[in-house]
């Protein structure tokens, strides 16, 4: 729903570019399809994890579109300014302005999708932090951490075959996996949200302990302030 709303905003923001071409000879439907449809092919950016290297490889052609569109957008803006300075006919100005639509939509979609991805990640991280606080409260109350989380799925660890709890949360169209694991003595736990392939944030705690958050990737893990995981 949020993705659809953002796409609507992108189209609404592109409307002024269509309006300034009102004196331009009427174009057929296929012309407008070729102008508007290609930028809309970027819509997967709204629902794919931004920090997943596999996703980045898949979306590499899309990211190439951005600098190309920026260059063409600047060139067309300069051309419009020059034609206006020369006081050329409105149809001539509109003809150049018409060419702003496609790169303009590409830029708007990239901006909107970037904002959507950051909001999605921040929301998922906050959910994980709240979950860790709830589990920490149970650990402090009972003197030990829960073995599994009620309502979450149980899955065996690949190496130890020990059961752990896993769940999925969807925020603004993007789905994240969250895993819960507890030490054999039930004296410590970790709640991990996976941001992408071999990368994410793990929050660790236990009875009488202070929650700590760690950002990890394929090469390292380092502590970060709790609440600023995104």
35 vs 12, residue with greater confidence: 35
Q: What is the pLDDT of residues 95-119, one digit of tens each?
A: 777 788 888 888 888 888 888 888 9
Query: Residue 43 — very low, low, confident or very high, per pLDDT cuts 50/70/90?
Result: confident
Query: Residue 230 — very low, low, confident or very high, per pLDDT cuts 50/70/90?
Result: low
* 3-class DSSP state of 219: coil
pLDDT, residue 152, reads 92
Q: How far apart are CA 195 and CA 62, in angstroms?
A: 20
pLDDT, residue 1, reads 44
Q: How far apart are CA 11 and CA 3, in angstroms?
A: 13
In DSSP notation, 96-133 reads HHGGGHHHHHHHHHHHHHHHHHHHHHHHHHHHHHHHHH
Percentage above 90 pLDDT, the chain:
26
Q: How far apart are CA 48 and CA 27, in angstroms?
A: 35
pLDDT, residue 223, reads 83
Q: How far apart are CA 4 and CA 171, in angstroms?
A: 14
Sheet holding 174-182, edge to edge: 153-156, 163-171, 174-182, 189-196, 199-205, 212-216, 221-224
């Amino acid at each position: 729903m949020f993705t659809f709303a953002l796409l609507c905003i992108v189209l609404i923001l592109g409307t002024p570019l269509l309006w300034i071409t009102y004196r331009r000879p009427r174009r057929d439907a296929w012309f407008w399809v070729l102008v508007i449809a290609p930028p809309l092919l970027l819509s997967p950016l709204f629902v794919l994890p931004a920090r997943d290297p596999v996703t980045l490889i898949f979306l590499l052609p899309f990211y190439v579109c951005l600098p190309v569109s920026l260059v063409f957008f600047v060139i067309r803006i300069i051309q419009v300014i020059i034609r206006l300075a020369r006081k050329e006919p409105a149809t001539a100005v509109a003809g150049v302005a018409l060419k702003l639509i496609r790169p303009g939509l590409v830029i708007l979609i990239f901006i909107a999708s970037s904002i959507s991805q950051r909001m999605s990640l921040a929301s998922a991280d906050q959910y994980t932090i709240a979950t860790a606080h709830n589990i920490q409260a149970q650990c402090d109350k009972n003197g030990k951490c829960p073995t599994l989380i009620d309502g979450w799925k149980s899955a065996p660890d690949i190496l130890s075959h020990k059961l752990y709890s896993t769940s999925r949360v969807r925020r603004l169209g993007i789905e994240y996996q969250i895993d819960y694991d507890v030490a054999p003595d039930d004296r410590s736990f970790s709640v991990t949200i996976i941001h992408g392939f071999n990368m994410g944030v793990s929050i660790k705690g236990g009875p009488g302990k202070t929650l700590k958050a760690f950002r990890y990737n394929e090469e390292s893990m380092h502590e970060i302030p709790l609440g600023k995981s995104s």
